[in-house]
Every structure is written in C-alpha cells, then in structure tokens.
C-alpha cells in the first residue's frame, strides 16, 4: 500500500485579512468603499463590459450599483478583496482577491481579478500578481490556485505566463449568469516557487533598469512567459486536454 509523503513541521499559515502589500509600481490594500468611485470610473472605459464577461457579477453601469457591490464584499473573510493602487497617481486601477482560503491544508486561491483598461497588459499588473504570490509562499502556504472559465482563453494564457501549471478541466462545474461553466484549474506549489520567484525577479529587475521618469514603462526585452514556460509541470493547449 502506497501513502503520500509525510508533511513534516507544517504550521498552518496566517489568514490574509487586513493585508497591505507594497511594490515599486503598485500597492495592494484592503478594498473599501472609498475606492468605489475611482474604480467605477476606471472600469467605465470598458464601454462594452468585456471585463465582466466571465465574472459572476457585473457589469455595473451606475456608480451606485458598483458602490453597493464593493460594500457587499469589502471586509469579508473569504474572499479577501484587495484594491490595486497605482503608486505614481495614487488611484485604484483594479481588484483581486484571495479566496477558498484553507490554512489548515496550506491552500489558497487567487481570483476575482478585474483590471481596469489602464492597468491591463502593464508591468504594474504583473507586479500585483507577484506581490500576492510572494506573500502566499513566504507565509507558508503549500499550494496557490488559479481557476477560470474554460472558455476564457486569455485567463488560461495569463495563468501560465505567471507560472501556474495546468491541472485539467472540471466539466459542468457551475452555472454562472444562467450559463454552464466548465472550470480550468491551474496551480503553483511550494516546491515550484523558488524558480518561479527568480523568473519574476529577473523580469521586474530588467524593467526597473529601463524605468522612465513618467509614462508607461517600455516592454522588457525578455517576456515573463519565456522565463516561466520551461518550469510548467503541465502546459495548457487551450483545448481542455492539456
């Protein structure tokens, strides 16, 4: 009879409630009502509501409706929502959360990621994900999960770029906004982290070397996906089979 390896000296890690994470480009802080007006305005640039297509809520055309949503999730124990603040302007430009928080097993998930157009495809967005990931593993979690609608190919690609390995598709996992959702699963485990951390540090350091005094940073010469791709335990080909 075979059994799993013994997990020695494991201490349940802390809960992320009240967390503030400081980076060079962004600061992550607990989402609160004071962020709602600026976040709604930033999201309003997405006039077609594309950002909300795969989220179980939204879009919010009226500021009052978005404010009500922020009030409903701010300060919760699970998910724990964070506002992503542009350190140069002081403005919130997106949200992300820790959810399915299970310190007893050392497992935690990142989700509810919603970047306003100004934050999308920027190094600041990458740094936000790095700050969350670094906190997870530096505080003793064993497994960090990313899940998304299997039809959301951009999210599946983003997961792998960030170093999450594909683990499969759960068919008919949920009903969201009246539609079936198959869910694609990705994860990083603690033994993956040192090599993935080195990829992020190389990527972010080369950007820092090119940093301009104002405006957007130029694209780095080495893509993060090129650094993380060789480290993936299993890759996702976008078909659901891997």
Q: Which CATH number goes with the domain that contains 198?
A: 3.40.630.30
The secondary structure of residue 240, as a DSSP letter, is S
Number of structural domains (the chain) is 1
pLDDT in tens, 74-112: 999 999 999 999 999 999 999 999 999 999 999 999 999
- pTM recorded for the entire structure: 0.92
E strands in the chain = 21-22, 26-30, 80-86, 92-102, 107-115, 143-149, 165-176, 179-189
Count of C-beta atoms within a 10 Å radius of residue 59: 17
The reply to whether 145 falls in a domain is yes
The reply to whether 137 falls in a domain is yes
pLDDT in tens, 168-187: 999 999 999 999 999 999 99
Calculate the average pLDDT of the chain.
Answer: 92
pLDDT score of 219 more than 90: no
The reply to whether 12 falls in a domain is no
Distance CA 164, CA 222 (A): 19
């Amino acid at each position: 009879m075979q059994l799993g390896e013994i997990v020695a000296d494991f201490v349940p890690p802390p809960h992320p409630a009240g967390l503030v994470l400081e980076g060079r480009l962004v600061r992550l802080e607990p989402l609160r009502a004071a962020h709602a007006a600026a976040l709604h305005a930033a999201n309003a640039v997405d006039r077609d509501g594309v950002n909300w297509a795969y989220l179980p809520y939204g879009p919010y055309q009226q500021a009052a409706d978005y404010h009500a949503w922020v009030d409903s999730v701010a300060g919760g124990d699970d998910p724990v929502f964070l506002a992503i603040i542009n350190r140069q302007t002081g403005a919130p430009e997106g949200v992300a959360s820790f959810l399915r928080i299970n310190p007893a097993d050392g497992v935690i998930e990142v989700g509810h990621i919603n970047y306003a157009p100004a934050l999308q495809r920027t190094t600041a967005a990458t740094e936000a994900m790095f700050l969350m990931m670094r906190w997870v593993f530096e505080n003793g979690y064993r497994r960090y999960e990313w899940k998304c609608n299997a039809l959301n190919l951009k999210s599946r690609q983003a997961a792998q770029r960030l170093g999450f390995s594909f683990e499969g598709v759960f068919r008919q996992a949920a009903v969201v906004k009246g539609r079936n959702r198959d869910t694609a699963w990705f994860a990083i485990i603690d033994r993956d982290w040192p090599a993935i951390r080195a990829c992020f540090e190389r990527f972010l350091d080369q950007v820092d070397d090119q940093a301009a005094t104002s405006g957007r940073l130029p694209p780095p010469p080495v893509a993060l996906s090129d650094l993380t791709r060789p480290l993936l335990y299993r890759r996702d080909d976008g078909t659901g089979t891997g």
